[in-house]
Structure 1
Amino acid sequence: MSLRALLTIAAVPVLLAGTALTADAANPAVAPGGNFDLGIWQLQEPVGSPGSPTTISSARLQGANGFQDSYFYTDSKDGAMTFWAPEKGVTTPNSNFARSELREMNRSGSAANWSLAGNHKLSATLRVVSVTSNVCVGQVHLGTGGSSTKPLLELYYHSNGDIVLGTENSPDGGQTAHTVGHVAVGKTWSYVIGVSGNTINLTVNGTTTHHSIPSSFNAYKQYFKAGSYNQSSSSSTTKGARVAFYGLTVSHS
């Protein structure tokens, strides 16, 4: 079987060990849902009414003719699932920053909401095409269990190439930064965000670091997010963060 055939089984990108994902791995002529399994994701975009960004359901995202627009689309050259978040855009009530970002869902259409117990992984292969300051490309966010609207962790890419993990100190806020890698803008890299009990296991380009989760988070359930959550704001609609994904998978056990 050819490499192209292996990579495009079920029209879902698969990253083979030691193999770079190339333009042959995805079809640039279809919507992101034709190359990626988007049945467990909902999209939030930087448009809509103030404090209420537009969301696109899993059902609308799926398939070769699924949803795409200028904020979420397939790159016409390499087939990457691309997210664009300008510095000026509609934001959620608890953020000053715009985003084009996927939120984890269940296959049934309900919102994902899993406990810290077990093993949970978000794996991605991506490149930051452009960024003004820094951009969050992956999150574990707090779900039900309390009143906090904070993330458990955020993975940031900075314009100088630094990859930084931000771990929340408590559900009340405060974040500790850990530099976990460095990749030049425009270069492809990978991450695996793993949560197992009260430990975060983060792998960036094959190097793994471990970070403890404070017990104050035990009451909360969680969900994954991925995309372009821009971390700078201005009046500009042309400056921002553009992030291209070549692989994106979730697993729970």
Structure 2
Amino acid sequence: MRIFVVFLFSIALCISTPAQAGDPPALVLDLSNWCLTLPIDSNQAGKPDEIGQPDLASFVDDRYFRANSQANGVVFRAHCGGVTTKGSKYPRCELREMVEDGTKRASWKTHGEVIHTMDMRVAITATPEVKPQVVCGQIHDADDDLIMIRLEGAKLFVERNSFGDVMLDQHYQLGTPFDVRIQTGRGTVDVWYNGKQMMSWAVSRSGCYFKAGCYTQSNISKGDESESFGEVVIYRLQVEHSD
């Protein structure tokens, strides 16, 4: 009996062992319904590398995508000279929402009965020197970004393209963790910042999905060095879709 109890205790310890520095980011965040875009083109296919499931479950890149030293967050980095996706002139190390255990791209609408929610605890830890701008989260629709959580200098805000920005923090300090909730459904998009609702916007879009990570808003044509970078640490990332 004692041997059996010890065996069960050993199993419990293995299951509950926390992530350690150097472990795959998938041991820190649940990445089962995400794919990752990197700011590099290692296979020379003419577009940025994309890491999907099941490879993302064990993927680590010490430069761009790794657990932080405390193993309580995932570091996303994109340098200004990085490869960009079609239709964008800026590099990214960014997750794209998927469904069905990462096998299919998510696509939903803001005006249905289903409520779509992304909760994040995140810190922006670095911005390029010349154009210090980084996006850490967004809703993208079938054609373009719908909203982006964006830092420009010290101003952290919700960008809505031609519909006007919504300020979250006018004096954000790099490295400061904050909580953000983006929720949409039944014809509105709502944003909370550190528990306070900051936006409720009536808007209808289709083909939508969440994105999270580091979308650096500069490149060498803006005057930044190729190795200058943006960096984001995500400590919590949860997505839910509920009636």
Aligned residue for 1:46, secondary structure, equals: coil
- Structure 1 residue 9 displacement after superposition: 11
Q: Which stretch has the larger CA shift, 69-78 or 191-200?
A: 69-78
Aligned residue for 2:123, secondary structure, equals: strand
Q: Which stretch has the larger CA shift, 83-92 or 235-244?
A: 235-244
What's the % identity of the aligned pairs?
27
Q: Which runs of 5+ in 2 are unaligned?
A: 1-12
- Structure 1 residue 25 displacement after superposition: 6.8
Give me the CA root mean square deviation: 2.3
Aligned residue for 2:88, secondary structure, equals: coil
Q: Which stretch has the larger CA shift, 44-53 or 123-132?
A: 44-53
After TM superposition, which residue ranges in structure 1, 4 or more long, deviate above 4 angstroms? Answer: 8-11
- Structure 1 residue 159 displacement after superposition: 2.6
- Specify whether residues 212 and 9 from structure 1 end up closer, same or farther in structure 2 by C-alpha distance, changes over 3 A only: farther
- Specify whether residues 128 and 9 from structure 1 end up closer, same or farther in structure 2 by C-alpha distance, changes over 3 A only: farther
- Specify whether residues 25 and 137 from structure 1 end up closer, same or farther in structure 2 by C-alpha distance, changes over 3 A only: farther
Q: Which runs of 5+ in 1 are unaligned?
A: 1-7, 12-23, 144-148, 169-173
- Structure 1 residue 239 displacement after superposition: 1.0
Once residues 202 and 10 of structure 1 are traced to their aligned partners in structure 2, the CA distance between those partners, rounded to angstroms, is 35
2:78 maps to which of 69, 75, 85: 85
- Specify whether residues 240 and 175 from structure 1 end up closer, same or farther in structure 2 by C-alpha distance, changes over 3 A only: farther
Aligned residue for 2:54, secondary structure, equals: helix
1:67 maps to which of 56, 59, 65: 59
Length-normalised TM-score, structure 2: 0.82
Once residues 159 and 238 of structure 1 are traced to their aligned partners in structure 2, the CA distance between those partners, rounded to angstroms, is 19
1:121 matches 2:117: yes
Length-normalised TM-score, structure 1: 0.79
Structure label with greater radius of gyration? 2
CA contact (8 A) 1:183 1:189 kept: no
Report 1:1-253 matches (<5 A).
26-48=19-41, 49=44, 52-62=47-57, 66-69=58-61, 70-108=63-101, 109-116=103-110, 117=112, 118-132=114-128, 133-143=132-142, 149-160=143-154, 162-168=155-161, 174=162, 176-181=164-169, 182-215=171-204, 217=205, 220-234=206-220, 236-253=225-242
Q: Which stretch has the larger CA shift, 98-107 or 202-211?
A: 202-211
- Structure 1 residue 121 displacement after superposition: 0.7
CA contact (8 A) 1:139 1:226 kept: yes
Aligned residue for 2:105, secondary structure, equals: coil
